[in-house]
Amino acid sequence: MIYFNKVSKFYDQSLILDDINLTINNNEFVALIGHSGAGKTTLTKLIVGEEKPTSGSVFFESKEVNKLPAGQITKLRKRIGVVFQDYRLLPHKTAYENIAFAMEAAGKTDDEITADASYVLDLVNLSDRLWHFPDQLSGGEKQRLAIARAIINQPELLIADEPTGNLDPVATNEVIQILKKIHDLGTTVILATHNRAVVDSLRPRVVTLEKGKITRDDKHGHYAI
Amino acid sequence: MQNLRRIIRAGLINFKRSSTVSLAAVLVMTVMLCVFVGLIFLQAVLTYSLDQVKNQVDVTVYFDLDVPESQISNLKKTIDNLSGVATTVYVSAEETLANFKERHKDDYLTLQALEELGENPLGAQINIKANEVSQYEAIANFLEKETVLVKGEASIINKIDYHQNKQVIDRLSALIKNARNLGLLVIGIFVLISAIIVFNTIRLAIYIARDEVKVMRLVGASRRYISGPFIIEGIIYGFLATILTMVIFYPVSFWLGSRMTNFLGLDMYRYYLTNFFEIFLIILVASLVLTIFSSLFAILRYINK
């Protein structure tokens, strides 16, 4: 599904990713682990075309992401759900409108939006927060809202970048259960994290990044840094 | 259609929710439109004053005493058909005499001399007004061509007063031209400054939302779907500012009309009411073009990132 071919990325003079070769297959659950600054977030940004590699190529199926024109990037992003580390919710839209916006962008009808947006918010336990703005929600609620937005269009790939970074253990567990459920429904999941407990409880394929290089790739791994 | 409805709704909601930024943008836009309407008023006063001055200028053709009225009438028709001629007024010999007596009613000696002559020494006249001051020379030259003016072998025209007034007319012509050019230059400069201020205000409003725009791109929204609501917001700014400006200028023009008509020479209140829809349309179109262009330009910068 996703293929990194000799990908390197520099920011100014700093090497962030160094000659990455990585293949992620359909319906895999992959945990990207590593210390802060190891290159996990940059790797996920390359998949959605938010960043371009300095050298090498990133493929999503047969399409080379870094060479896609803007219109094609938009189409690609409709197939990918992303949960951002800093949530990146739309601050001037309510919880319901944040979900509805992602559905409108995907071309869903009003009836579909009415039915599915309420359903997904119920799924992430936010049915009593429909008309709250992001700054009226707690960290855990924001994270669950971000997940709801990422999964609402039933993406083929879900990328979750540190989705439990700011959460307490209870909220963390809730988020992990949601990700598991989504994976069980057939979605490929890439989870970038440095939370040992999360990785050890899931036992997914674990790809370890250190200073921009892949140092380990274990099929059913555990957190080992 | 569904997308358009959603874009319009999103634009309206954004306008309402970003109320402080919206208010600032509408106010700046209103100030710009007030400058714009002020310049329209200024141009109206200038045009009116110049027209008044232009109306003081004419060319008079004095005919010989024995020229038949029918011949003058034929010539008048020819002059009427000349390009650049606005109006021609025929004044008969009797009317010329009456006007002369009226003008010199306090000049006893002149009137007595006229009495002693026993007959009307003055011929008929045609007063010619041109559309533009610069056209008098061409008209005078035409009249001086012998072929047009012959009565048998001799000219029927006694005198054309263009050449006596030529210097004044030339100066006036240059003055009008310069005043117009200066007026246009001042208007151009003010409109440009105002447009830059509005443009930057809208850019600032969109700059504040740049992170939001990025997120929209990342969740797969198309460029049109993202930029649409910002353009709708811009249209709302322009529309509200137009209405606000028209409302502000109602009492302003009333005050100008009641207090300044003698000074300006033109009743601005009447001018405003007479040209209300034209002014409304001009500033509405100007504000919409500016806001749509500014919004598009600003949003494209962030949407392409």
Domains of chain B (ranges, CATH numbers): 2-53+173-303 (no CATH), 65-155 (3.30.70)
pLDDT at B149: 53
What does the alpha-carbon distance between residue A187 and residue B266 come to, in Å, rounded to a whole number? 76
Structure tokens at B179: 């005043």
Contact A102 B222 (CB under 8 A): no
Contact A101 B219 (CB under 8 A): yes
In this prediction, residues A72-90 reach a mean pLDDT of 90
In this prediction, residues B7-14 reach a mean pLDDT of 91
Share of chain B above pLDDT 70, in %: 96
Least confident of A207-221, B24-38, B120-134, B146-160: B146-160
Contact A149 B215 (CB under 8 A): no
Main-chain phi, psi angles of A171, to 5 degrees: -65, -35
What does the alpha-carbon distance between residue A71 and residue B206 come to, in Å, rounded to a whole number? 22
pLDDT at B148: 54
Q: Smallest Cα–Cα separation from B79: which of B133, B141, B124, B165?
A: B141
Contact B218 A50 (CB under 8 A): yes
Please give, rounded to a whole number of angstroms, the shortest distance from the CA of A26 to a CA of chain B. 21
CB B160 within 8 A of CB B60: yes
CB proximity under 8 Å: B 213-232 to A = 214-223, 225
Strand ranges, E, within chain A: 2-11, 14-24, 29-33, 55-60, 63-64, 80-83, 157-161, 188-193, 205-210, 213-218
Structure tokens at B195: 């447009």
Residues of A in contact with B225 (CB under 8 A): 104-105
Of residues B138 and A41, more confidence is placed in A41
Q: CA-nearest residue of chain B to A75?
A: B220
In this prediction, residues A119-139 reach a mean pLDDT of 90
Please give, rounded to a whole number of angstroms, the shortest distance from the CA of A81 to a CA of chain B. 7
In this prediction, residues A138-161 reach a mean pLDDT of 91
pLDDT at A29: 94
Q: CA-nearest residue of chain A to B4?
A: A104
Residues of B in contact with A77 (CB under 8 A): 217-220
pLDDT-based confidence at residue B246 (cuts at 50, 70, 90): very high
pTM of the predicted protein model = 0.72
Does A88 touch chain B if contact means CB atoms closer than 8 Å? Answer: yes
Please give, rounded to a whole number of angstroms, the shortest distance from the CA of B302 to a CA of chain A. 13
Note the pLDDT tens digit of each residue in B48-77.
Answer: 887 777 777 788 888 888 788 888 888 888
Which SS3 state, helix, strand or coil, does residue B54 take?
Answer: helix
Contact A110 B215 (CB under 8 A): no
Q: CA-nearest residue of chain B to A87?
A: B215
Report the amino acid identity of residue B81.
N
Which residue in the set B212, B217, B222 is minimally distant from A91, CB to CB? B212
What are residue A33's DSSP bridge partners? Answer: A193, A208
To which residue do tokens 């936010």 refer? A126
CB proximity under 8 Å: A 89-118 to B = 89-92, 101-102, 104-106, 109-110
In this prediction, residues B107-122 reach a mean pLDDT of 83
Share of chain A above pLDDT 70, in %: 100
- Cβ-Cβ pairs closer than 8 A, A with B, add up to 54
In this prediction, residues A70-98 reach a mean pLDDT of 91
pLDDT at B108: 86
pLDDT-based confidence at residue A160 (cuts at 50, 70, 90): very high
Contact A92 B2 (CB under 8 A): no
pLDDT-based confidence at residue B1 (cuts at 50, 70, 90): confident
What are residue B60's DSSP bridge partners? Answer: B127
Does B4 touch chain A if contact means CB atoms closer than 8 Å? Answer: no
Contact A105 B220 (CB under 8 A): yes
Note the pLDDT tens digit of each residue in B193-207.
Answer: 888 888 888 888 888
Burial class (CB in 10 A: 0-12, 13-18, 19+), A159: buried
CB B220 within 8 A of CB A74: yes
pLDDT at B106: 86
Please give, rounded to a whole number of angstroms, the shortest distance from the CA of A221 to a CA of chain B. 30
Per-residue pLDDT for B169 more than 80? Answer: no
Contact B218 A105 (CB under 8 A): no
In this prediction, residues B168-173 reach a mean pLDDT of 75
Contact A77 B219 (CB under 8 A): yes
Contact B222 A74 (CB under 8 A): yes
pLDDT-based confidence at residue A215 (cuts at 50, 70, 90): very high
Does B69 touch chain A if contact means CB atoms closer than 8 Å? Answer: no
pLDDT-based confidence at residue B129 (cuts at 50, 70, 90): confident
pLDDT at B305: 62
Does A78 touch chain B if contact means CB atoms closer than 8 Å? Answer: yes
Least confident of A91-100, A178-187, B98-107, B142-151: B142-151
Q: Tell me what the pLDDT averaged over chain A comes to.
A: 90
Contact A92 B14 (CB under 8 A): yes
Q: Inter-axis angle of helices A95-105 and A110-123, to 10 degrees?
A: 130
Per-residue pLDDT for A123 more than 70? Answer: yes
Does A65 touch chain B if contact means CB atoms closer than 8 Å? Answer: no
In this prediction, residues A80-96 reach a mean pLDDT of 91
pLDDT at A101: 92
pLDDT at B275: 94
pLDDT-based confidence at residue A125 (cuts at 50, 70, 90): confident
Residues of A in contact with B17 (CB under 8 A): 92
Contact A77 B18 (CB under 8 A): no
Q: Which of A96-105, B140-149, B206-215 has the highest mean pLDDT?
A: A96-105
pLDDT at B48: 85
CB B93 within 8 A of CB B124: yes
CB A202 within 8 A of CB A160: no
